[in-house]
Structure 1
Amino acid sequence: MTPEKPRLRDLLRVAAAPNEADQTVPNGLRVAAAYAWRFLVLAAAIGVLIWLVIQLKLIVVPLMVALLVTALLWPVFEAMLRTRMPRWLAIVIAVVGTLAIVAGLLWLVVWQIVREWSEVRDRTLKALDDFQAYLIDGPLHLSSAEIEGYLQQALQFIQEQAELLWSGALAIGTTAGHVLTGAVLAVFILLCILADGAGIWRWALRLFPRTARPGVDAAAHNGWRTVVNYARTQLLVATIDAIGIGLSAFFLGVPLAIPVAVLVFLGSFIPIVGAVVTGALAVFLALVYNGPWIALWMLVAVLIVQQVEGHLLQPLLMGAAVKVHPLAVVLVVAGGAMIAGIPGALFAVPLAAFVNVFAVTISSGSWRTGAPPGGDLIWSTVPRARKGTAG
């Protein structure tokens, strides 16, 4: 009698049945191991990506700066395009106007520093002498050697922290040549994005598989719109902070009110950290130049401005624009500063906002319901990719 051939269904059942070794491993351990090796692969991929970014820092940092400046300029640029203004003229007005504003602010800063520097220096030296005399003759009764030792420790600590902050993995460079090269490259990238952002995005979209292009297009569109909202909102928050603290310093008679306001404006683009550092600088100037009572009022003014920002502007404006929880903002800013110094802290929030919106759009499948609304710079002239068609 001819033996019956095993059927394919029986072979598949035997192959799919768990073997004896699998039965001895708890199910929870198998699940944990599956998560673990996937996590290791993901961590390795992120590590390789960070390593590549570090190696290409002289390109990555100007690119990020150009994208952030583009997001800042986009509301004005879009308004000019809607008036049927030629694109080249809108680019010239936007770029030249931005450079003029920056040059004007720098001129005001230099003008006030040059005007008040000698008086501030003399008052600072006198304040330091008075403070040293207080430490010696006051209740602490410190000796000159002890004061010198404490000052050396404080200066060493400040120097170490400054070096750690400035020597981040993504710092533009330590030489003037690196800074100049990065600035020129950032301006060139900015002009290219404003001139042909749609063409650049069409080329980038073709790098993805054809079936994935509609989802990537919609997710990137939503992410870019979030970055534009972040830049616009952060510009408003930084302006309010600068006006509040700058006017407070001016009315209290604190020197260098304009440089303080400009530093507050620039520092506010680094959430949490920037406002604290620049506010502390204003209080320190008031303490050295005007004495403890004016410094106390300056501290009150800084705290009021920061409380308005933290409890009113950030939750109402930034929360709706970025769609990232405040705790996540703190963590990504800290992580960005640890990895990449000042550039990491500056780009952490917009990058996290973009990744968050991109991932949510892809995972939710909302892009399948239809093409996202147009109007953004990079996507304004991109033909929407449909299923079965090229992007």
Structure 2
Amino acid sequence: MTNSAGGDAGSAATTGTKPQRTPQPVTPAARRVAGGRRNPSVAGYVPDPIPTWLRVMAGWGWRLLIVAAAVALVFYVLSQVRLLVVAVFIALVFTSVLRPVVNVFARVMWRWLAVLLALLLSIAVVGGLITYVVASVAGQWQDLADQFDNGIQQILDFLNGGPFHLHLTTDNFNDWLDKGRQWITDHSGDIASTAFSQVASVAEVFTCLALAIFCTIFFLARGSEMWTWFLNQTPEPAREPLTLAGGAGWYAFSGYARGTVIIALTDGLLAGIWLTILGIPLAAPLAVLVFVGAFIPLVGAPGAMIIAMIVALATKGVWAALLVGVGIALIGQLEGHVLQPLIMGKQVSLHPVVVALSVTAGTLVGGLLGAIVAVPLVGVTWAVFSRLHTPDPPMTVEESTSEVAGVELDPGEKLPHAGTAPDDDETE
């Protein structure tokens, strides 16, 4: 038997043919591997039950929650030192407006002397403006009172005649005035306590203003050195992005502040000229009111327009009030379509919808102060983000509005679905 087996093996080796192998039984493990190509669950591959889009959104969600919590914490801390924040904000506004003037003066004198001269000139301009307004009001007060009585009678005649037929008389206004005086007399104690409680607020205003002027002096004189010192306290890898972010933020903020001041001056000057042409009393104070209202986006200018129209209505009649409203509305259109694009340019390029939402959110959170601070804060944030962010190639309008986001599929082709099993080639 052994010799015959050896002879068969030798003859197979001599002829070069392969020996016949006995078939082996298929094990269960081999069956699972072979069947895994047709049914992935057999090979242990279980599709992810959570869709890919949900996992991506969850990842973004908890990161955004952490960022929102950090931002909320920062705003909470800043709200505890509101006076300090407001003082620094005002100081930055003063610095952005006066810095070009100081740079011009510093060419021919020491910088400290240039800072002092610029501050004195600005205080003289503001003080002279306030003095002129007060003198104008004091000089025209008696004439305004007489014209106001005549204007009230004109308003009554207009309301009683025409389509209204309200049948109002001066006795009605006298009754309302008497009721108002009686209410003031009955609540004099509450009014006095409220007035005394506001003394602290007045003291805070002067403290904030003094601190803002103090910070402005050092920002104008040593602002570059202070910024360099701050950068030197940070790690070296962080200095370049901080320098880029700081430059972009200051460019946007200073452009917004200087542009707002220039636009407000232009609006006030044009409004004063228009009110003077129409012969409206207190044209100078109303022009100053328009100037102040220009610093409050969206709501400041309409508020000043309403007050000017009321004065014109009470002193000159309905047609004068309409002319005042039309003139100030035209000034607003000139501001929005000519002055802002020309003066601010691309320094603060925010969509009107973003401005409206920012002002509304700022008003809800911080009242009047929030409405004033919201737009420059959003503008600076967007400028810093745009400077540090590297965007991907933009999409066209056609691509963004297509049915499948610009992806064209061949007939019969399907989009990849999350959790599908790998193909045979990928498995191999």
Query: What TM-score, normalized to structure 2?
Result: 0.70
| Residue 219 of structure 1: aligned partner | 245
Alpha carbons 2:155, 2:314 under 8 Å: kept? no
Residue 59 (1) aligns with residue 84 (2):
yes
More displaced, 220-229 or 60-69?
A: 220-229
Residue 276 (1) aligns with residue 302 (2):
yes
Q: 1:269 is paired with a residue of what secondary structure?
A: coil
- Consecutive unaligned residues in structure 2, runs of 5 or more: 1-43, 181-197, 392-428
| Residue 360 of structure 1: aligned partner | 386
- Give distance in 1, aligned partners of 2:144 and 2:274: 18
Alpha carbons 1:173, 1:179 under 8 Å: kept? no
| Residue 388 of structure 1: aligned partner | none
Distance 1:323 1:135, change over 3 A: closer
Report the alpha carbon displacement of residue 129 of structure 1 after superposing the two structures with TM: 5.5
| Residue 11 of structure 1: aligned partner | none
- Give distance in 2, aligned partners of 1:19 and 1:51: 49
2:333 alignment partner AA: Q
| Residue 88 of structure 1: aligned partner | 112
- Give distance in 2, aligned partners of 1:259 and 1:141: 34
- Give distance in 2, aligned partners of 1:309 and 1:30: 48
Structure 2 matches for 1:36-75, cutoff 5 A? 36-75=61-100
Q: 2:166 is paired with a residue of what secondary structure?
A: coil
Q: 1:320 is paired with a residue of what secondary structure?
A: coil
- Identical columns (%): 35
Alpha carbons 1:230, 1:322 under 8 Å: kept? yes
| Residue 314 of structure 2: aligned partner | 288
Q: Of 147, 152, 156, which residue of structure 2 is paired with 1:123? A: 147
- Give distance in 2, aligned partners of 1:187 and 1:298: 37
Report the alpha carbon displacement of residue 279 of structure 1 after superposing the two structures with TM: 1.9
When the two structures are aligned, how many residues end up with a matched partner?
A: 326
Distance 1:300 1:109, change over 3 A: same
- Give distance in 1, aligned partners of 2:373 and 2:230: 21
- Give distance in 1, aligned partners of 2:137 and 2:113: 36
Structure 2 matches for 1:138-287, cutoff 5 A? 139-141=165-167, 175-287=201-313
Report the alpha carbon displacement of residue 243 of structure 1 after superposing the two structures with TM: 1.2
| Residue 394 of structure 2: aligned partner | none
- Give distance in 2, aligned partners of 1:213 and 1:79: 30
1:127 alignment partner AA: G
What are the superposed Cα offsets for residues 102-134 of structure 1, whole Å, 9 maximum, x if unpaired? 000000110011111222234334534654576
1:45 alignment partner AA: A
- Give distance in 2, aligned partners of 1:248 and 1:209: 57
Alpha carbons 2:151, 2:316 under 8 Å: kept? no
Distance 1:35 1:61, change over 3 A: same
Q: Of 37, 48, 52, which residue of structure 2 is paired with 1:27? A: 52
More displaced, 195-204 or 299-308?
A: 195-204
| Residue 103 of structure 1: aligned partner | 127
Q: Of 75, 78, 93, which residue of structure 1 is paired with 2:103? A: 78
- Consecutive unaligned residues in structure 1, runs of 5 or more: 1-17, 153-171, 366-391
Alpha carbons 2:305, 2:328 under 8 Å: kept? yes
| Residue 137 of structure 2: aligned partner | 113
| Residue 410 of structure 2: aligned partner | none
Alpha carbons 1:287, 1:294 under 8 Å: kept? yes
Alpha carbons 1:68, 1:231 under 8 Å: kept? yes
Alpha carbons 2:249, 2:380 under 8 Å: kept? yes
- Give distance in 2, aligned partners of 1:218 and 1:135: 62
What are the superposed Cα offsets for residues 256-284 of structure 1, whole Å, 9 maximum, x if unpaired? 11111112112212222222111222122
Could you say which structure has the larger radius of gyration?
2
2:81 alignment partner AA: L
